[in-house]
Amino acid sequence: MTKHSDELGDQDDNHNEPHNVQEAISFILHLNGAQEELISKAAVALKIDNFQKGMRAFLSSTLPQLEKIMKETNTSIDWVVKRIKTLMQEEVWLWTEEAVEFKLADVQADLSLLFGLNRLVGKTDADLQRAIERFKDEWLPTKTKLPLLLLTIVSSGETKEAIEILSNLLEGQWPETEARLRVGNLLTNRPAAVREAIADQDEAIKAWSKKNLGEELSEEDARHVIEALPILSRETDEFKIRKEIAEICGGLARTKLAQEVRQLWRDLTSSESPLKWGRSHRVPVRWTLEGLKFARLINVVNQSGERAEPELKEALRTMQEKSKDIEKLKDQKWVNQRIVEVLIPHSTDMIEDDEDVKNLKAYLINKLGNKVEHWPYMQTKAREVANSWIQDLYHRKGYEQVTRNIEGLSSSDMRDLLKELAHDPAIGAKLLRKLRNTKE
């Protein structure tokens, strides 16, 4: 019996059967629990399935357009239920058919907008807010620097309305149901038209600048403005937008004026600027064009890229009014004469040719440095240097010529010459001393 019992015991162990009443009861309860769990899961699945079928039937009878969009966009009933729940802001078991039906148009509009945004940016977001953020933060800044509202100035019809609605959306203004539906349909069916309108920055900035700033921009100007602008596609502050564009357009106007100033100077002088003219001719331009008006002109032309618009306009007027005087800078003989008149006005007769002036310039550079534009600020020293040079020239060349000519004068001519020279106080004083010494 024991053996038989042992065999039965071994058999029981192999089949994991309970050994006593307590184990048997536990085993039965375990089976019942598993069965109940399976039954519960089956019931939930059946309930969900029935709920989804019921919702589909409800949508089909209440708003077939929504069901159609769901099929076209491969949207699950779960997405719709989740969206309704967001709009209803209450648990499903509290819903009523009337309340749900009232929200279905919004669900349809949201789904249309979501799918349209996905088509526009080439993504497949399932969350509407994520799609809006992607459009605003990732896609739009790569397509335009301009705010959407500004782009509407060259758009028309449905495209214009779509961009306006998207602009309002970025400003936090949630569009009405019909508006979301329309823009969603347009983005879905004609995304290329909206992309093209958003990318048309040059025409938009030209039209906006003409309307708001009175600025007529060329194609090149428009491209320059766009390149210089920071990314404003997400900007909604109209004052800031206007300020940014106005500053760049103003800078563009100044740049064009500066170019006109430099070009007119080139036409009149065959040089790039007063500074370069002076260094090329080895003489300060201020010693050739004197006076306050010319001094202002020289400063403005030299710094044309940094000067304000009124200063540039004044420089243009001065060059136009004084063009004949300025054109003299191309006459080398006149320029040579001016440097002699400025530095050694009482010794002009000593300068015989251009070679003498060339030697004078070389002497000045050796003593004053080669930055000739600084010489006018050390004019006293420049004159001292020039007088030193002319004295040396006189001793080398002039004195011999004078004495040779004196030898050929008659007594009468000599007296006449001395009388004429006596008009010069310096020479007269020397003659007076000499005559006194002779008498003594």
Per-10-residue mean pLDDT, the chain, length 440: 37 46 50 49 45 64 72 76 79 76 84 91 88 92 91 88 90 89 91 92 91 88 90 87 88 88 96 94 93 94 91 95 95 92 86 87 93 92 92 80 77 79 78 72
Residues 6+ apart with CB under 8 A from 426: none
CB 154 within 8 A of CB 203: yes
CB 311 within 8 A of CB 300: yes
CB 216 within 8 A of CB 147: no
CB 382 within 8 A of CB 388: no
CB 144 within 8 A of CB 196: no
Encode the chain in three state secondary structure. CHHHHHHHHHHHHHCCCCCCHHHHHHHHHHHHHHHHHHHHHHHHHHHHHHHHHHHHHHHHHHCHHHHHHHHHHCCCHHHHHHHHHHHHCCCHHHCCHHHHHHHHHHHHHHHHHHHHHHHHHCCCCCCHHHHHHHHHHHHHHHHCCCCHHHHHHHCCHHHHHHHHHHHHHHCCCCCCHHHHHHHHHHHHHCHHHHHHHHHCHHHHHHHHHHHHCCCCCCHHHHHHHHHHCCCCCCCCCHHHHHHHHHHHHHHHHHHHHHHHHHHHHHHHHCCCCHHHHHHHHCCCHHHCCCCHHHHHHHHHHHCHHHCCHHHHHHHHHHHHHCHHHHHHHHCHHHHHHHHHHHHCHHHHHHCCCHHHHHHHHHHHHHHHCCCHHHHHHHHHHHHHHHHHHHHHHHHHHHHHHHHHHHHCCCHHHHHHHHHHHCCCHHHHHHHHHHHHHHHC
For the record, the structure tokens of 351 come out as 């300068």
Query: For residue 37, what pLDDT is reported?
Result: 52
CB 427 within 8 A of CB 421: yes
CB 381 within 8 A of CB 293: no
Query: For residue 32, what pLDDT is reported?
Result: 52
Distance CA 216, CA 206 (A): 7
Claim: this prediction has a pTM higher than 0.75: no
Query: For residue 369, what pLDDT is reported?
Result: 92
CB atoms within 10 A of CB 10: 9
CB 245 within 8 A of CB 213: yes
CA 34 from chain centre, in angstroms, equals 71
CA distances from 183 to 30, 106, 164, 194, 212 (A): 58, 13, 10, 10, 28
Residues 6+ apart with CB under 8 A from 211: 153
CA distances from 411 to 169, 408, 416 (A): 109, 10, 9
Query: For residue 53, what pLDDT is reported?
Result: 67
Query: For residue 395, what pLDDT is reported?
Result: 83
